[in-house]
Amino acid sequence: MKAIVDCNNFYCSCERLFKPHLDHKPVVVLSNNDGCIISRSDEAKALGVEMAGPYFKAKPLIEKHDVAVFSSNYNLYGDLSWRVMETLRSLVGKQNVEVYSVDEAFVDLSIFPPEELQAIAMQIRETVEQWTGIKVSVGVAPTKVLAKAANCLAKKHKHKTNCVVVLDTKDKIERALAATPVGDIWGVGGRYAHKLQEEWFITDALQLSKMSEEFARTHLGGVVGARLIRELKGIPSKEMEDELVSKKMIATTRMFGSPVDNINDIKEAVATYTSRAAEKLRRQHSAARIISVFVVTNEQDHSLGFNRGGTISTYTTLPVATSFTNELIKPAVTLVDELFKEGKLYKKAGVMLSGIVPDASIQGNLFLPETKNCERRLMDMIDNVNFSQRNDVLKFAASGTTRDWKMRQELRSPRYTTRWEELYEVK
């Protein structure tokens, strides 16, 4: 049996942790650039504030009900996420936890006897809350997809379930599936949900679970769909994954605070994003060969859907994979020349690193010239200083110093747990 442990309204819960007066009050957290709403407390949901809706549209409602609003504070969320995951690891063993996202982890419970699952799940929920202050929901079932469905129900009926649902019999599974609309199934997105309902009159998960694998193979995206159906039928087809897999792609992309028409601003932004991406690369001890850069003009039309149109991109392949910021910045900035057109307004840019391989320069490498090994030590030093001090105390000149293009983040709360100067004070 597997469990999915999912933090409730994670970003909002993090904000509340240090502002107890906001308990039971509506809270929302905004995306970067204060663009849209990416986390809502239960109270905010009840008011009708929409998920992923643009902030400016929800503003009247938010002001009317005095909703507390925060810019996203990823330092804080990242640290609290780590605490939650550490708690899980200490409860069930490191090797049985698969961190799935910042606020979710799968937990392999096969080491526990079936009759104890309910109690174990409850203990996980209570311990995480006690140790970190973060409330979680736990769904337990034979497969990941069913566990996600269980979790969804646990959240939907908080009071009845105490945020824990265990699906350990055929009967419980069927009832749970019947109560799950197809669109709520993990792995069925908007497109497939629409198709299933319109073309096949399949509206709930129980109906879908009775379809054949062949059906899924032809109508739900091939082997992905087939696996989904198997999981719904209770046959594990998405196994627990190894924790320490390196990312195959690393991206850093941002909207600008306001549109930019100057190529140098874009180059500075791209250099900064490249530094970020290179840090992520070094953190997982990788190097990259392919670097792509894209820019988005403000011709992008949101009425057509989120990311449609206006994006142009290009890439270059380096002769040798590298994780050195300076070696990545140069080609990245050169790519901007290819993309930039005078007279247009740009609202976003991004850098993506791929062609990722293990870093050969780590720990001093006999086969590299000594200058390379020095550069490696320089990179480590920069990473250490930037991590322990303030972000970007040390940066490359190409990143610029004025940063006219940087994003808006007006409502960010202090980084209580990761910056000394912003520590929470008890009076």
Partner DNA sequence: TCTGGGGTCCTAGGACCC
The residue range among 168-176, 215-223, 321-329, 410-418 that interacts with DNA, by the rule CB under 7 A, is 215-223
Closest CA to 320 of 350, 290, 342: 290
Q: How far is CA 112 from the centre of its chain?
A: 30
Nearer to DNA, 93 or 222 (CB): 222
The one among 62, 97, 146, 188 contacting DNA by CB under 7 A: 188
Distance linking the first and last C-alpha atoms of the chain: 46
Write down the least CB distance from residue 177 to DNA, Å: 15
Nearer to DNA, 57 or 210 (CB): 57
The residue range among 94-102, 110-118, 197-205, 336-344 that interacts with DNA, by the rule CB under 7 A, is 94-102
Binders of DNA in range 20-79 (CB under 7 A): 31-33, 35-36, 38, 52-56
Whether the Cβ atoms of residue 78 and residue 7 lie closer than 8 Å to each other: no
Closest CA to 80 of 170, 158, 15: 15
Cross-strand bridge partners of residue 71 = 30, 412
3-state secondary structure of 210: coil
The one among 21, 64, 159, 191 contacting DNA by CB under 7 A: 191
Residue reference for tokens 């792995």: 187
The residue range among 87-95, 188-196, 261-269, 362-370 that interacts with DNA, by the rule CB under 7 A, is 188-196
Contacts of 169 (CB under 8 A, 6+ apart): none
Contacts of 266 (CB under 8 A, 6+ apart): 260, 295, 336, 340, 346, 349, 405
The residue range among 12-20, 157-165, 330-338, 344-352 that interacts with DNA, by the rule CB under 7 A, is 344-352
Please report how many Cα atoms fall inside a 13 Å half-sphere around the Cα of residue 284, on the Cβ side.
20
Binders of DNA in range 259-298 (CB under 7 A): 273, 280, 298
The one among 40, 144, 155, 254 contacting DNA by CB under 7 A: 254
Nearer to DNA, 303 or 402 (CB): 303
Tokens found for residue 109? 């419970």
Q: Give 355-384 as a DSSP string.
A: EEEE-TTTT--TTS-HHHHHHHHHHHHHHH
The residue range among 15-23, 187-195, 322-330, 382-390 that interacts with DNA, by the rule CB under 7 A, is 187-195
Binding-site string for DNA from residue 140 to residue 179, where x marks contact by CB under 7 A and - marks none: --------x-------------------------------
Binders of DNA in range 100-129 (CB under 7 A): 100-104
Q: Which residue ranges make up the site for DNA (CB under 7 A)?
A: 31-33, 35-36, 38, 52-56, 100-104, 148, 185-193, 221-224, 247-255, 273, 280, 298, 302-303, 306, 317, 347-348, 350, 407
